[in-house]
Amino acid sequence: MTTIVTPRPELLDTSATTDNYLTFTRGFRSWALTLDHKRIGVMYMSAVLASFFVGGVFALLLRTELLTPGRTIVSADTYNQFFTLHGAIMVFLVIIPSIPAALGNFVLPIMLGAKDVAFPKLNLFSFYLWVGGALFTLYSLAAGGFDTGWTFYTPYSTTTTTGGVIPVLTGVFILGFSSIFTGLNFIVTVHKLRPPGMTWFRMPLFLWALYATAIIQVLATPVLAITVCLLIVERTMNIGIFNPSMGGDPVLYQHFFWFYSHPAVYIMIVPAMGIISEIISVHAHRQIFGYRFIAFSSIAIAMFSFIVWGHHMFVSGQSGLMNTIFSLISFSVAIPSAVKTFNWTMTLYKGTISLTAPMMYGLSFIFLFTIGGLTGIHLATLNTDVHLHDTYFVVAHFHYVMMGSALIGMIGGLHHWWPKMTGRMYNEKAAIIACIIIFVGFNITFFTQFMLGSQGMPRRYYDYLPEFQIYHVISTIGAYIMACGFFLCAACFVQSLLGGKKAPANPWGGRSLEWQCTSPPPHDNFSAPPTVGNCYDFSMLRWDEKEQGYVVDKELEAVAIAAEARGHS
């Protein structure tokens, strides 16, 4: 039997105004040299959102260029730089750090009832590594940009005349270490800093997801570091590793690259799945359905992620036997993904569902991830992949998963924890409208690209056949709609910061530990290490008008405790 002995939010009302992490100390240095995981999380979030804006501008430029066949606004070389930058920024600077480093940093220690991550200084160091990597990427633009595609396939990447290739590779190398250190920190934190009572199977599922992600980050990212090193060596010293004219093998590069970059896909999506597990259960106020299946499916996806990289190379010239093995293993990823999707959906069954802004993002995620996941079957199947490989079908598929799922999950998580991070509420109606606009715009943009691809339109094309134009026009209109949605979303957040209602400790009715400290949390998160109950038991919560948030009802709590005691005996 367990109870929550942390001070209740209502008892903390007076202290909340005196101690929160945002006002704990003041001045530039207090932020720049902070070891507080919450401040580092906020800094990461600001940096990631700024990068998202830049990557998004490139996306809009791309879509605008593709309005007509041939030249619309820029030349072919500029277009090639645009799509390369869009991809590299979105992957390395936005999606990979967005959930683990930004939201994870903020939420993970509080969810664990801990004061901070295990290695706070390493945490700050990894943030500055991110900044360093970002600066190198920025510098590469000044050095002539790069037009290699974010995949840096050789021998094009070692022979192209654009001058920014080596700076951006250096940037990617540094960003990789930022990611490794964050992963290392999280693994140790989850192992060592869980409070008494929080067994592995009492952890919120977001922690399981972050833990699985951290394992991939630590194991896979070093391979990327080696790969970009070899690429730099080949480009600067003409040592033949990948270039066949010097005795190298370009397909070897693809193996190295995807050995990291396929797991990287799960570095992006698994934490988003964790967020969705939280959002769906908290906003449906309903015990998550099949906790263990979801937890194990995160670990299963992390494991499978290492042995399916070859499906990026079905037409690359790797042997038919390898293709067969990789195709078979790739299907295994479908199972944990299906389990998660069905379990989330079943969590809605007999729930008490509040259609809040985070919940709208959560439901969008299920919709978009279902499409993204199912179209993966076309691509894992050998003979259909041959037709669809390197076409817009692939582009649509991975945008449904990377953007429609990973990024929508991140934005949903941001809405979910925004009151906790800033202490302010946002205009809920406007945020929901923004979500709907993004959702509609997204589907217009990317569903069209499925048709484009299956009709045979190759990806990374500056010029295209006139019969494809109608699809491109629709897709571009969708992108503009989506941009409007994101601007509305940003406006909501700005309005919230400037004049949002004060946030209660528990605006949504969550039960994991972060909802038990004030909004925003005090510098030390908890005055005493909290004891932990079932973080998905919502039965004791009641909406409180005065508080404008959820509070634990004493009577209901007694009933819940009794019920749990019965369950244990």
Residues of span 528-547 touching other proteins by CB under 8 A: 538-539, 541-542
Tokens of 476: 């571009």
Exposed, middle or buried by CB within 10 Å (0-12, 13-18, 19+), for 46? exposed
Q: How far is residue 468 CA from its own chain's centroid?
A: 32
Nearest distance in Å: CB 224, other proteins = 20
Tokens of 190: 């989850």
Nearest distance in Å: CB 547, other proteins = 16
Contact positions with other proteins (CB under 8 A) in 165-194: none
For other proteins, the closer CB: 184 or 251: 251
For other proteins, the closer CB: 370 or 495: 370
Contact positions with other proteins (CB under 8 A) in 425-484: 450-451, 454-456, 458-465, 467
Q: Measure Cα distances from 278 to 96, 216, 281, 568 in Å.
A: 20, 21, 5, 25
Q: How far is residue 2 CA from its own chain's centroid?
A: 33
Nearest distance in Å: CB 383, other proteins = 3
For other proteins, the closer CB: 84 or 98: 84
Task: Report the residue from 32, 50, 229, 355 that binds other proteins according to the rule CB under 8 A.
Answer: 355
Detail the DSSP E strand segments found in 6-164. none
Q: Measure Cα distances from 282 to 52, 221, 362 in Å.
A: 27, 33, 11
Round to whole Å and give the CA distance between 81 and 62.
Answer: 10
Nearest distance in Å: CB 299, other proteins = 14
Residue 554 binding other proteins, by CB under 8 A: no
Q: How far is residue 5 CA from its own chain's centroid?
A: 33
* 8-state DSSP, 203: S
Q: Are 509 and 472 in contact (CB under 8 A)?
A: no
Task: Report the residue from 142, 335, 528, 562 that binds other proteins according to the rule CB under 8 A.
Answer: 335
Contact positions with other proteins (CB under 8 A) in 221-250: 244-245, 249-250
Contact positions with other proteins (CB under 8 A) in 73-132: 76-77, 80
Residue 509 binding other proteins, by CB under 8 A: yes
Sequence letter at residue 508? W
* Residue count of the chain: 569
For other proteins, the closer CB: 92 or 550: 550
Residue 375 binding other proteins, by CB under 8 A: yes
Nearest distance in Å: CB 452, other proteins = 11
Contact positions with other proteins (CB under 8 A) in 280-319: 284-293, 315-317
Task: Report the residue from 2, 68, 72, 370 that binds other proteins according to the rule CB under 8 A.
Answer: 370
Residue 354 binding other proteins, by CB under 8 A: yes
Question: What angle do the packed helices 205-237 and 291-304 form, to 10 degrees?
Answer: 10
**Which of 259, 287, 89 minimizes the C-alpha distance to 202?**
287
Nearest distance in Å: CB 261, other proteins = 15
Task: Report the residue from 339, 430, 440, 491 that binds other proteins according to the rule CB under 8 A.
Answer: 339
Q: Which stretch binds other proteins (CB under 8 A): 100-108, 117-125, 324-332, 435-443?
A: 324-332
For other proteins, the closer CB: 293 or 480: 293
Q: Which residues pair with 544 in a beta bridge?
A: 549
Residue 350 binding other proteins, by CB under 8 A: yes
Nearest distance in Å: CB 451, other proteins = 7
Sequence letter at residue 111? M
For other proteins, the closer CB: 68 or 381: 381
Backbone angles phi, psi at 502, to 5 degrees: -65, 135
Q: Is the peptide bond before 155 cis (omega within 30 degrees of 0)?
A: yes
Total number of residues binding other proteins (CB under 8 A)?
A: 93
For other proteins, the closer CB: 348 or 505: 348
Q: Which stretch binds other proteins (CB under 8 A): 36-44, 98-106, 205-213, 371-379?
A: 371-379
* 8-state DSSP, 501: P
DSSP codes joined into one string, 311-335: GGGTTTT--HHHHHHHHHHHHHTHH
Helix (H, G, I), strand (E, B) or coil at 391: strand
Contact positions with other proteins (CB under 8 A) in 382-401: 382-387, 389-391
